[in-house]
A and B are shown apart, each in its own frame.
Chain A
Amino acid sequence: DAGITQSPRHKVTETGTPVTLRCHQTENHRYMYWYRQDPGHGLRLIHYSYGVKDTDKGEVSDGYSVSRSKTEDFLLTLESATSSQTSVYFCAISESETGAGYTFGSGTRLTVV
């Protein structure tokens, strides 16, 4: 499997606290993505990156920010967590923009109480 890891795997946090999720890859892929997956909605793109310090918004970016200071790391921050951000978060990587598809990390289950 591709070298992509997410941390933490599970997290419970309180409403209003900031939370940072980490995605780390060892494949040297240019593109990295953060998705959230919720029942009835499928996978929805939050933010993505097309290079170091190059990021853009996806379809559900409100309340989230990202940073990519190194090729291998893509961080997702919930600035002030809300219950509506309880979800499973998946990071994905790809060599080209769509090319051969994406490889996903194992996911982070986040619960905001």
Chain B
Amino acid sequence: RKEVEQDPGPFNVPEGATVAFNCTYSNSASQSFFWYRQDCRKEPKLLMSVYSSGNEDGRFTAQLNRASQYISLLIRDSKLSDSATYLCVVNRVRRGSQGNLIFGKGTKLSVKP
């Protein structure tokens, strides 16, 4: 199993749609989870952290299922400006350390008028 795996997409959705992205990770000892957003030819930017109890930030909801080693991101009422690539991020656990972050290859979202 790859360390962090995402469906590459692209997801093409109309404005106003709800879209969900999924991600799986291989190391059950991982403790830190994030979603990043990357616009074309730009740097990745932190969208939100993912907490065990699930968390919401406006139209965005993140969920974590530790038993299945699965992370999700739900975007409600999609906007044109949501078009970007969404990166699933997990820490690489090393002996005695939380390790650094591993980035998934990303899921591309295109929101159409």
Contacts and interface: CB of A to CB of B under 8 A. Distances in A.
Interface residues of A, number: 22
Interface in A39-70: 40-43, 45, 48, 58
Nearest to A58: B100
Interface in A69-113: 90, 97-107
B45 interface: yes
A104 B44 contact: yes
B43 A107 contact: yes
B87 A90 contact: no
A101 B87 contact: no
Contacts of A104: 43-45
Main SS class of interface, B: strand
Interface stretch (B17-25, B31-39, B62-70, B75-83): B31-39
B106 A103 contact: no
B43 A90 contact: yes
Given A43-B87, A90-B44, A106-B42, A101 B100 contact: no
Interface string B61-105: 000000000000000000000000001010100000111111111
Interface of A: 31, 33, 35, 40-43, 45, 48, 58, 90, 97-107
15 contacts: A31-B100, A40-B105, A42-B87, A42-B106, A97-B91, A97-B98, A97-B99, A97-B100, A98-B98, A98-B100, A98-B101, A101-B32, A101-B36, A101-B89, A106-B43
